[in-house]
Amino acid sequence: MQLKTFFLTDDENTPIFLPLILNFLLNIAGFGLFVPALGLSFSLNPLPFSSNPGGFSFLFFLAELIALFGLGQFLGLVLIKKFLPSRSIRALILSTTILSFLGYVMISGAFFSQKWSYLFLGRFLTGLGASNTKLCLRLSWDLHPEKSHSHLLSYLMGISAISFLIGPWLGMKLLNPDWLGWSTPSAFFAFFYALNLLFLFVRLPHTKSFREKASPIKEVLMELLTLLALFRCHELFWLFILFLGGWIAFLISFPAFILQKWQVDWSALCDLYAYFAASWLLGSLFIFPELKGKISSSLLVNLGLWVLASSVLLCFLVPYLYWYWLLIPLCSIAASFLWSYIGEIGNFGFFKEVEGRILWIFLLIFSLVLLLIPITTGWLLQINVLYPLIFSNIQFLLLALVGSRILKQIKKPPFG
């Protein structure tokens, strides 16, 4: 695989993919930016203003803050579906990127004005702006040469996985009270969105390479449900959603459990998140590619699913903190096997046949997971710090139990 295939639209054009991939990375990492704060707030208050007149718990408000990203993304996808037939892709991508930039500026301002309303509105706007993920994916697909399509999805899956880990790590690192202040994470993202907005404005072409028919939402949903029944991607979808729900719940609740049981300092928690990311890179870039040539990929993934479920279970059973030097890489490497496998076998070359509608419904439900899982995890944290970890482990165990059957179905042809 030649890297230039992924950074050039062809052998001669300037790199159009770089601004799109940076936008894609920022969108996904932005969701996880405040994920550690929910877990941290169980043991200490990571925000400078926690009082509220409504009488609700601080955990409830923080869970809502994280979940508003998913709500904004869901509504943004619906609006994009409505405006796409009459607006250019360039205009939609630029306008939604501006929304993300304004959202992070508003979040930064909220810490100075100490108003929850600014914080919530800013978070919602960042999710609304992140709905352009679909447009970035589709435009990248259209602008790349056909010979690179077989590798493009796996490349994007790898970037999205790292983004999910980079977001919480940056959030943890930049929320450090010894650094520049509580507004640092959002100011950091606002700067990079502004920079990427400039790149997009200069490099994004004026293209009308694809259009999707305007249809009533009810009609579109029925059509998409039918498509999901016909294409193999619905098996990939269930694997991905079960994993995503468990992984988000785990990343949120993990720092709360570590703080309560071992009272580690802030720097150590940052190191643990960095360890997650480094282990994931090791698994996806080296271990999985090396082993899949010697072991069946489906067998490797099945083994990874059971290792993932077992290692998460052990996370709240081991008696000593140093066990996490073993458990964290086991979790991350095993999880990276599934993610890499989905990217490897997922062939979304049927974009043109269904006009991107499968991708649209996939992202809609993806955004609902980002909405519901933080709220559920925050509610469980209020009851007991172990409950979110148990909730996460149940999803991983279910994933391991149904994984073998799903992986067999994936081997069938794309059309049923």
CATH of residue 128: 1.20.1250.20
Q: Is residue 9 part of a domain?
A: no
- The pLDDT of residue 14 is 38
* pLDDT (average), residues 178-193: 84
Contacts of 16 (CB under 8 A, 6+ apart): 8, 9, 143, 203, 204, 205
Structure tokens at 409: 């179905």
Q: Is residue 210 part of a domain?
A: no
**Based on the structure, what is the number of domains in the chain?**
1
* 8 A C-beta contact, residue 114 and residue 9: no
Q: Is residue 217 part of a domain?
A: no
105/203 Cα distance (integer angstroms): 24
* 8 A C-beta contact, residue 116 and residue 61: yes
Q: Is residue 298 part of a domain?
A: yes
CA-angle at 359, arms to 354 and 362, nearest 5°: 130
Terminus-to-terminus CA distance in the chain, angstroms?
A: 31
CA quadruple 181, 58, 121, 31: dihedral positive or negative? positive
Question: Does the pLDDT of residue 384 top 80, yes or no?
Answer: yes
pLDDT digits (tens, 9 = 90+) for 52-108: 444 446 777 788 889 999 999 999 998 888 887 778 888 899 999 999 999 999 999
Q: Is residue 214 part of a domain?
A: no
7/16 Cα distance (integer angstroms): 7
Range with the poorest average pLDDT among 35-44, 267-276, 367-376: 35-44
Partner residues linked to 231 by β-bridges: 415
- The pLDDT of residue 6 is 43
Question: Does the pLDDT of residue 351 top 50, yes or no?
Answer: no
CA quadruple 75, 133, 89, 346: dihedral positive or negative? negative
- The pLDDT of residue 8 is 43
Question: Does the pLDDT of residue 179 top 70, yes or no?
Answer: no
SS (H, E, C) 178-200: CCCCCCHHHHHHHHHHHHHHHHH
Q: Is residue 135 part of a domain?
A: yes
Range with the poorest average pLDDT among 66-75, 279-288, 318-327, 348-357: 348-357
Question: Does the pLDDT of residue 114 top 80, yes or no?
Answer: no
pLDDT digits (tens, 9 = 90+) for 225-253: 655 555 555 666 778 888 989 999 998 88
Average pLDDT, the chain: 79
Better-scored residue on pLDDT, 111 or 275: 275
- The pLDDT of residue 106 is 95
Structural domain that includes position 320 = 15-205+223-410
405/416 Cα distance (integer angstroms): 16
Q: Is residue 22 part of a domain?
A: yes
Name the H helices within 283-356. Answer: 288-292, 297-315, 324-345, 351-354
Q: Is residue 174 part of a domain?
A: yes
Question: Does the pLDDT of residue 205 top 50, yes or no?
Answer: yes
pTM: 0.85
